[in-house]
Chain A
């Protein structure tokens, strides 16, 4: 175990980061006199888009997961790995990619125009849903695929010997499994989409497509109405907490699912209808996930040479923020990689970054100019938001190390420092590298708190991409997005690789 003092400091700072900003928001919200019609509209839209995003993601994931579970094909491993990529993909990059495919002058409209089909509109509810499905279909697929792979092979063998048809197999094997997994997958996606900010900022907006998070941002940024922002923050907090606790009861945090490279041995694989539908689902999903990324890369290659110094400066800020939040997150996570620590860290899911940002803004304002501290606040909030995922990755290995070597450590009388230096950190190196990579990539791509605080001198790269999009400098935006994509994936790769090289486990 890490020295006790570190545990106490980490626990106190994390708890302080929850209690302080939430208290500040509650106190400020008291000065407010009510919920406006626009706020009710934002609440309704938040719930509607989260429900629909969850539904579509899960419904589309079921046939895709089944196809992946029973098919073996070249590139299957790559496609399954790709399903994990949206987790570390900067939202703004995906949005640019989706715009390039589904936007007004995007690929789809260009293909449909000669056929006389009306133009596809991406802004508004369906744009928000499209982006949320892009991010969460892979997550739902991974969760449901895990369920499919967990069905004992004997059940399919029995179905084959009994000569079960598609319907009988669905009713007796697949539906019972799905009934156990699908509600949890829906709940996780619902909670994630409740706090949707960057997607709503770029593809939503307007009175009819504003989430609570976006309303918080607008009341801060446009009206500077701190009391209203605090009230909205409070509603957002209550909503996320309630939904988060429900989700926690029905599912577990999916971060590093293992063993998805297996194939379920089924005897209905040669059914011609099944082959055709599976192939169609896999091809459509691959196209849906790959086309936007491909478009960002292609458009970005043309734009990357035109990037001005402000973009490179923003990239520098982003790297510093990413490294800072990674260091802070690991500083918290190492001593908190325990059962109670993981409970504390779950606050990082319930507490939305914008609510945290508002709270910190209110706390900092009497003492300093919050806008000057934008990058520090962003790094802190990003570290906090990553903490539950990092703890989920580190805790099993950390507990195994403690269980395996506690008696030897005690018998030798190892000091806390010697334990950390010679045993705990070397043995934790591999998950530590993965967790650091994840935090760095998440922080690198974050477009949340920074949008609340930043002035032009302190923009991060995702904010810069957003600003370039807003100024209709799409070529430069694409170039900056490609740079962001490379930096996010690059940082992830560097840390993850660093953890694997010479790993003790």
Chain B
């Protein structure tokens, strides 16, 4: 089982992206590259926000290229706006469980409490975002991902606004949850250290060209010339 991007050519405004790679199920992969290199565009293609001009996206051999984002086996954490600020955490999670009505069905409240407990937010169901710290908000967003129960998780720098220690803590929590649930995770980051800590494999994106996943340690210890400039390794 794998997430495959087969001969993808995508266009966002005047920006072109080419990608052709596969990520094995259960792997944690980092996506690194300079600002404007196409990392977020790549995530948009996988999540279904941007339709490729040519090429196919597959999960477990099933083509999902034409599926809308909500119907893909994928959940995503954005840089910001991962939860609706006017709703309680419980209401937010109920929407993730039942996107057609947003209402709780039998057993839903228990599922919500379990997922909140899993991310260390027991008893936070009635709180709103304004009553929570940045770290707690990130945890609540992760609880939403858990409830969605989808096998692929995309992280578009969701912890960028957190302090360094909190970011490390959150990445560790995501890694723990991902391993326990068998999730395939793609993490976009500016920070090579995130890749070292979180991902066994790393994808480099440069000027719209996506390279296939490589071993993170090998790549960062002996970066190719184009990556060396980005890393500032001389």
Task: Please name all residues of chain B whose beta carbon is closer than 8 Å to the beta carbon of A504 when the two chains form the complex.
Answer: 85-86
Decide: B100 and A418 in contact? CB cutoff 8 A.
Answer: yes
Decide: A408 and B71 in contact? CB cutoff 8 A.
Answer: no
Decide: A411 and B76 in contact? CB cutoff 8 A.
Answer: yes
Task: Please name all residues of chain A whose beta carbon is closer than 8 Å to the beta carbon of B47 when the two chains form the complex.
Answer: 411
A-B contact pairs, 22 of them (CB 8 A): A407-B69, A408-B84, A410-B68, A410-B69, A411-B75, A411-B76, A412-B95, A412-B99, A412-B148, A413-B69, A413-B71, A414-B95, A414-B99, A414-B102, A417-B100, A417-B101, A418-B95, A418-B100, A418-B102, A421-B102, A422-B87, A422-B95
- From A412, A417, A418, A505, residue with most partner B Cβ within 10 Å: A412
Q: Which 5 A-B residue pairings sit nearest by Cβ, starting from the closest?
A: A413-B70, A504-B86, A415-B100, A410-B69, A418-B102
- From B48, B83, B91, B100, residue with most partner A Cβ within 10 Å: B100
Q: Is A427 an interface residue, CB under 8 A from the partner?
A: yes
Instruction: Name the residue on A nearest B156 (C-beta).
Output: A407
Interface positions of A (Cβ within 8 A of B) = 404-405, 407-408, 410-415, 417-418, 421-423, 426-427, 504-505
Decide: A426 and B100 in contact? CB cutoff 8 A.
Answer: no
A404–B75 CA distance with the chains assembled, in angstroms: 18
Task: Please name all residues of chain A whose beta carbon is closer than 8 Å to the beta carbon of B91 when the two chains form the complex.
Answer: 422
Task: Please name all residues of chain B whose beta carbon is closer than 8 Å to the beta carbon of A505 when the two chains form the complex.
Answer: 86
B100 to chain A, nearest CB (A): 4
Task: Please name all residues of chain B whose beta carbon is closer than 8 Å to the beta carbon of A408 when the two chains form the complex.
Answer: 78, 81-84
- From B49, B70, B95, residue with most partner A Cβ within 10 Å: B95
In the complex with contacts A407-B78, A414-B99, A422-B84 CB distance below 8 A? yes
A120–B22 CA distance with the chains assembled, in angstroms: 89
Task: Please name all residues of chain A whose beta carbon is closer than 8 Å to the beta carbon of B82 when the two chains form the complex.
Answer: 408
> Which one, B49, B83, B99, B101, contacts A413 given CB within 8 A?
B99
B43 to chain A, nearest CB (A): 11
Q: Is B219 an interface residue, CB under 8 A from the partner?
A: no
Q: How large is the interface on B (under 10, 10 to 19, 20 to 34, 35 or more residues)?
A: 20 to 34
Instruction: Name the residue on A nearest B77 (C-beta).
Output: A411
Task: Please name all residues of chain A whose beta carbon is closer than 8 Å to the beta carbon of B100 when the two chains form the complex.
Answer: 414-415, 417-418
- From A411, A417, A422, A426, residue with most partner B Cβ within 10 Å: A411
Decide: A405 and B81 in contact? CB cutoff 8 A.
Answer: yes
B50 to chain A, nearest CB (A): 11
Instruction: Name the residue on B nearest A414 (C-beta).
Output: B99
Taken residue by residue from 43 to 69, chain B's Cβ proximity to chain A (1 for < 8 Å, 0 otherwise) reads as: 000011100000000000000000011
Instruction: Name the residue on B nearest A413 (C-beta).
Output: B70
Task: Please name all residues of chain A whose beta carbon is closer than 8 Å to the beta carbon of B87 when the two chains form the complex.
Answer: 422, 426
Decide: A414 and B70 in contact? CB cutoff 8 A.
Answer: yes
> Which one, B81, B83, B98, contacts A407 given CB within 8 A?
B81
In the complex with contacts A413-B69, A413-B70, A405-B99 CB distance below 8 A? no
Q: Is B96 an interface residue, CB under 8 A from the partner?
A: yes
- From B47, B85, B86, B98, residue with most partner A Cβ within 10 Å: B86
Task: Please name all residues of chain B whose beta carbon is closer than 8 Å to the beta carbon of A410 when the two chains form the complex.
Answer: 48-49, 68-70
Decide: B84 and A411 in contact? CB cutoff 8 A.
Answer: no
A126 to chain B, nearest CB (A): 53
Decide: A413 and B68 in contact? CB cutoff 8 A.
Answer: yes
Taken residue by residue from 197 to 225, chain B's Cβ proximity to chain A (1 for < 8 Å, 0 otherwise) reads as: 00000000000000000000000000000
Task: Please name all residues of chain A whose beta carbon is closer than 8 Å to the beta carbon of B95 when the two chains form the complex.
Answer: 412, 414, 418, 422
Task: Please name all residues of chain B whose beta carbon is closer than 8 Å to the beta carbon of A415 when the two chains form the complex.
Answer: 99-101
Task: Please name all residues of chain B whose beta carbon is closer than 8 Å to the beta carbon of A426 when the two chains form the complex.
Answer: 86-87
Interface positions of B (Cβ within 8 A of A) = 47-49, 68-71, 75-76, 78, 81-87, 91, 95-96, 98-102, 148
A423–B86 CA distance with the chains assembled, in angstroms: 8
Task: Please name all residues of chain A whose beta carbon is closer than 8 Å to the beta carbon of B75 when the two chains form the complex.
Answer: 411
B7 to chain A, nearest CB (A): 25
Decide: A418 and B84 in contact? CB cutoff 8 A.
Answer: no
A422–B101 CA distance with the chains assembled, in angstroms: 9
Task: Please name all residues of chain B whose beta carbon is closer than 8 Å to the beta carbon of A417 when the two chains form the complex.
Answer: 100-101
Given contacts A411-B69, A413-B68, A414-B99, 11 further A-B contacts (CB under 8 A): A408-B82, A410-B69, A410-B70, A412-B70, A412-B99, A413-B69, A414-B100, A418-B99, A418-B100, A422-B84, A426-B86
Task: Please name all residues of chain A whose beta carbon is closer than 8 Å to the beta carbon of B96 when the two chains form the complex.
Answer: 412
Task: Please name all residues of chain B whose beta carbon is closer than 8 Å to the beta carbon of A418 when the two chains form the complex.
Answer: 95, 98-102
Instruction: Name the residue on A nearest B70 (C-beta).
Output: A413
A426–B85 CA distance with the chains assembled, in angstroms: 11
Task: Please name all residues of chain B whose beta carbon is closer than 8 Å to the beta carbon of A407 when the two chains form the complex.
Answer: 49, 69, 78, 81
A411–B81 CA distance with the chains assembled, in angstroms: 11
B141 to chain A, nearest CB (A): 10
- From A414, A426, A505, residue with most partner B Cβ within 10 Å: A414
In the complex with contacts A405-B81, A408-B81, A411-B76, A422-B102 CB distance below 8 A? yes
A427–B100 CA distance with the chains assembled, in angstroms: 19
A17–B26 CA distance with the chains assembled, in angstroms: 58
A194–B128 CA distance with the chains assembled, in angstroms: 51
A62–B179 CA distance with the chains assembled, in angstroms: 70
Task: Please name all residues of chain A whose beta carbon is closer than 8 Å to the beta carbon of B85 when the two chains form the complex.
Answer: 504
A408–B75 CA distance with the chains assembled, in angstroms: 10
Task: Please name all residues of chain A whose beta carbon is closer than 8 Å to the beta carbon of B98 when the two chains form the complex.
Answer: 418
A404–B148 CA distance with the chains assembled, in angstroms: 21
Task: Please name all residues of chain A whose beta carbon is closer than 8 Å to the beta carbon of B68 when the two chains form the complex.
Answer: 410, 413
Task: Please name all residues of chain B whose beta carbon is closer than 8 Å to the beta carbon of A412 when the two chains form the complex.
Answer: 70, 95-96, 99, 148
A411–B154 CA distance with the chains assembled, in angstroms: 11
B191 to chain A, nearest CB (A): 23
A421–B84 CA distance with the chains assembled, in angstroms: 13
Instruction: Name the residue on B nearest A418 (C-beta).
Output: B102
> Which one, A404, A405, A411, A422, contacts B70 given CB within 8 A?
A411
B85 to chain A, nearest CB (A): 8
Instruction: Name the residue on B nearest A416 (C-beta).
Output: B100
Decide: A405 and B101 in contact? CB cutoff 8 A.
Answer: no
B200 to chain A, nearest CB (A): 26
Task: Please name all residues of chain A whose beta carbon is closer than 8 Å to the beta carbon of B148 when the two chains form the complex.
Answer: 412
In the complex with contacts A414-B95, A414-B99, A417-B101, A423-B84 CB distance below 8 A? yes
A317 to chain B, nearest CB (A): 38
A504–B88 CA distance with the chains assembled, in angstroms: 11
Instruction: Name the residue on A nearest B96 (C-beta).
Output: A412
A163–B177 CA distance with the chains assembled, in angstroms: 70
Task: Please name all residues of chain A whose beta carbon is closer than 8 Å to the beta carbon of B49 when the two chains form the complex.
Answer: 407, 410
A416 to chain B, nearest CB (A): 9
A418–B96 CA distance with the chains assembled, in angstroms: 11
Task: Please name all residues of chain B whose beta carbon is closer than 8 Å to the beta carbon of A422 when the two chains form the complex.
Answer: 84, 87, 91, 95, 102
A413 to chain B, nearest CB (A): 2
A465 to chain B, nearest CB (A): 42
